Structures are given as structure tokens and as C-alpha cells.
A and B are shown apart, each in its own frame.
Chain A
């Protein structure tokens, strides 16, 4: 008795065979995409030749000839376009890094506020979140820059904020720390204190797991992280002084100047992104099933430890992926700097450099590549993190 060969596919005409149809469709699509790309590049070559615009990255080492107000690395008008690119990139990363830290803190506070049982706090956070989320970021940036910071008093009427800080329409001026010769010792003290604190916490947890005995973790950490550097600081003869702001009638000198463009951009990004982070946090905390809290209370944990040991670890699993995408959004939104004149990557490179060289293809491509690298490396990290933290189920 022979078995029917089940693997034998019934004979069909090739145009009815899904496999053949799929292959033909893919071939057509590929040819079409390649054709479009080829056409685009041949047109671009032709148009560029007609407009007498050079192509390639020869411009990278040419002298830029323009100045940039805020810079983290050495740069002046005789530096190259390549140097200007790095100045812009570092400025983007600076505002993104500070913005992420502040938006996280503010966003978590708002998110917890939206879940607060206190009706007034609840109402205020809700109004804030709805108002900010439903207006464009660009509008908010323009508002902070043009209506608030530009409307600040001129230099001679600077607002005195105390602690040697002054605020006027040219920015925020703060004393500049000057580090003495003995300062490296304090740095070492900070490092040793941090390492010691981490080691101690590790040891304390191991001990608690083994014996159940608790240690004064908080006090010891405080002593190591704050006390040790302070001790060294005073022992080394206070190697820190300040270069104070000199307020003149029309001019201001000395100290650190924080540019209003930077303040406006940072303020706008933090206020806007925090309202989205608040929603992420709220959703995350609400996603933890009520029974978890109740079970924790039943075990005798007080509200504080319940939040810290039961709710937050579970909420974080839900919060972290959308939180990262908010961080990415903040980084990408920092490109709106161009509207307030903060010299970030887009403003410097896609703005000034593009206008001066006219090499749109190269400049836009490099800019996009930078943002793509940031985005893709973050999502790769996230995938790795998620696979580690994912709930292991049966």
C-alpha cells in the first residue's frame, strides 16, 4: 500500500502560483526602486554640473569663515567646515544630554502628580500635561525665546538672582569656578567615595540576603559620597575660587555666560518632553496590577517600600521602552534649535554650511546619518535591554 505523497503540490499555472507571483512582484519592485535611485542620481549629477556646484567632501577642510557663539571645542572663523560640524554636533549632544536629565526628573514628578490622590496636585498636573502636549513645540520655543527671554531687561538693568548670578537679555551669567592646584585630590576623593559607596551597598545587600541583618546603607553612602570629598576639600585648603561676574554699565564680563538661545531651547525641550514622559510614567504605574500593592501591604510593607520594591520595578519594565523613544524624540527635536538660533548640528551644518557651500546632498546626507546613528544605536541597545528585562513566562 503506497502512501499519498502529501508534499506533492497540486499543479497550477505559474500565474496562479503564489511563490512565482511573489518572486515576480519582488523583481519588479526591485527594478523599480533601482530605477528611481538611478534616475535621481543621474539627474542630480546633471543638475549639479549645470549649476557648477562641486560634489564630494572636498569642502570639509575648507575655511568656514563664520563664527559660532557657543562652542565646547576650540573654534574660530578660520577653522574648517569639518570643525564647525563637530562644534554643532557637540552642541546638539550637550542640549540633549542636559535636557534628558531634566525632562526625566520633571516628567516623573508630573507623572506621579497625575496619579496623586490630592485633587489639587492632580488637577494642576493634568492641566499642565494637556496644555503642553496639545501645542506645537516650535510655538513654545518661539514663545520662550521671543516673548520671555528677549523681553528680559538690558545689561545695565540686569536682574540680580543672588549668589553672584545675573539675568538679562543676553543670557544668564554665573560665577566661573577656578580650580586650584590641589583640586585633583578632591576629584580622586569623589571617585574613591563613589566606588566605596557602590562596594558597600553591594556588600550590605549580600549580607542581608545571607543573614537578614540590615546595615545603615543610606548614612554610609552619604558619608562616602559627600563627606569624604568635603573632608579632602577642607584638608587641601579649599582649592576652589570663583571668577565673579563684572557688571558694567553697558557691558558684562567675567564668569560664565549661558546664552539665551541655549536656555530657550533647553526650557522648551524639557517642558515639552516632560509632559510626554509624565504620560509614560502614569501609564507604567497604572499598568501594575492593584493586587501587587495589596499583597505587599498584606505582607506588612509600608507604602514607601511598597512603591520602591514592588511597584516601581514592575512599572519600569513598561516605562523604559517608551521612555527611550521620548529621549530620542527630545534629541531629534533639538534640531528645532534652528528656529531660535542655537548653534546645533542642523543650525550650523544644514543651515550655514549648506548655504555657504551649496552642497545640499552631502550636507543633508551627513546630518541625517548622524541622527540615524544615534537612533539606531539607541534602538539596538533597547532591544538588548528588553530581551534581558522581559518577563520570563512559562
Chain B
């Protein structure tokens, strides 16, 4: 097994690969690439690669990541040459299983670090191809019409002004939401983050399809939604009057590419990896129907107007998102989202409605002194109600320990253990929220 040198000697070849495309010898007649990318992205790369490499047919095998892992575990790895996909957790697992060949990368061209985050493999078996950030898609015209300020932070989502205007992805159903919610939870803190999500979700529309989250803002069903950015960026590029807001504490996470251990068309595989990491290949990411962020800083000179450069992000807070920790927690987050939010949204609505009503009543009452509470006893009740309403049955300190039991959002590795845990969660959530509702109602002014 020989290392594959990427990103070297570019100026002479118009390519930055030492081996592969442009090297002057014929490639194999085909290269088999496995991916779960949408066809709007794959088509453009297929077309561009085949035009750049006449005679080499790019054959795409589309597989969800778990099916892909099964294919790559076969002795011949299903005849696949290249694995190229947005599936953060898959690449380290497959590397550890010996599925890939090593790549050698010139870090002067491909730094492998974006927004302070290491996005490529430290051991050199896979390389970042693009990154996507997480944020808020908003309808500025609708907000301006109702004189509402745009949300700027994750914390802003809990504001009562978004009642009926916010769309949130269901963590167990939308692929990107595990990373999205983990970024929020790491940014806000585990307990505070879940409390925020519960309050925001009480009057939100829960959406079960990734594309529909942004679409709900595009079509006017919602004015604000949380999303991975390329849906919003593509909507903007396609002419829809929406905007994207990155909270100061967010992260840009990678999709990656690797050459398989058993690649039967090795030169063509190298050429493909070379192409997707080349300047022309990276610039394709700016296409209106793709709109993901290149991992090469040098191609940002070709970026369309208004493109955020994740290598030089303005307004970002120093925030070290822990990607590996997050990967471990996606399944747990999906399960907790179901128990805390998706399966009890009606009750959340009642609960948070009562808390907001009590808080509004207190705020409206006259006080004798500045900064004094109108009724300290009722204020204490509301404060306790708020705390209990945000109860999460898994403490932050226990999340990492419990996470392996919930491998990913589609797996149910330990069904009996999970069922027992969930039953316990539900009982404790019920108790906390029942008490919170009682406190909130007692905090309301007596008629």
C-alpha cells in the first residue's frame, strides 16, 4: 500500500496532485464512487470530472452511510474506488476498520483546518472535501413587516416573539440535526441548551425532512428556522428572499473523501480525488444549487458576492466546538429530543404558555422601587417553574457516558436498555413538568 500524494507540484500541471489527472497517461475506463450526496451535487461533479478526463466513466453508487459501511466491509469493498460523502462519523470508523488507503496532503494548499476545527484525518486516511455551517434561515421581509428584530444567537430562539413562526428539525428524522443540536448544546451548555430548545419548540413547527426546514421559511410557513447552511445558501442563490444568520458560537463541519483499500481503478480514483480537491473542483461548490464551503482558502477569490469565508469569519466568538464529542452524542440527542420535545409538544405548549403568561403578568404589574419584583413570592414560583420546565433527564456530566448506548439516530443497538431508559426519562420529565405547570399557574395573578 503506497501513500497517495495530493496537493503537490500544482503549478506545473494545473493540478495539485502528484499522481492522477493531468499526469499524461491514460486512466482506467471507469472509477466507482460511493456517495450519499444529493444528485444536484453529484451530477455537476460527474459532468465536470468526465469532461476533464475523457474516456473515464464516473460510476456513482448511491448508499446511505450505514449501507455504505456494509459495502465497504466486504472483501472486495463492492468494487468501490472512492468513498465521498457527508457522513462525519463514518470516516473514522471506516479508517479504523482498515477501509482506506493513506493520502499525503500538502497542507500549504489544503490546511485541513477550518474555523479553528480540524476537518481532515490526522492520520491521513481521509481528507475534507467541503464544510457546512449551522445557523438560522430567516425571512427578513416578514420580520420587518411585523417589526421584529432578526434573531442573532441560539438563545434568541427562546423568545416569545417567535410564537408560531419558528421551524425546528426533528432530531430523530433529519440527518443534519444531530450536529446542529449538538453545536447549540455545546455552545449554550447541556442543561441550558435543552431548556432553550424545549421553550423554543413549544410553539414551533417540528419538521421531519431536512430540506423542508428551510423550505418552510422559503414558502412562508415559518419566518425563522434552524438549519445546516447549504439549504439556506442555495435558496438565496436561487432567488428566494431569505437570509442566513450564523450565531457567533457555531461550527463548520466537514464532508470527506477517501480512496478505498481495494480500489480496483486506482489511478482513476486518484484522479477523482485530485479533481474534487482541485481549484476547479472546489469552485464548483459555489454553484447556486450546491453552495457548500470549499476547504481550499485560495478558491475564495472566486466566491460569489456575499459569501462568508469560514477561514476568516467575522463576528465569530472563540468557540472550540468538540466535533468528536458531538459525533458520539447524535443518537442520544435524537432520543432525548423525542422524549423531551417531539412526543410532548402539546404539553410543552401548555406549560410554556403558562410560564410566559405568569412572567408577562409580573412584568406588567407596578413596582414600588426600580428593579424590585412586583410580587417576590410569585416571582420565585415562576423562576422555579422555568427551571423545572427545562429539566433534562440526562445530566451533562452523564451524557458522554450514556451516548454509546444510542449509536446513531437510525440504530437501535440496545432496544431493551433504551426502552428502560426512555421509560425512566419520561416519568421524570412528567414529574418535573407537572410541578412546573402547577407552579406557573400558582404564579398567575388571582382573578
A, B in one complex: no
Q: Which residues of A are at the interface with B, using a C-beta cutoff of 8 A?
A: none
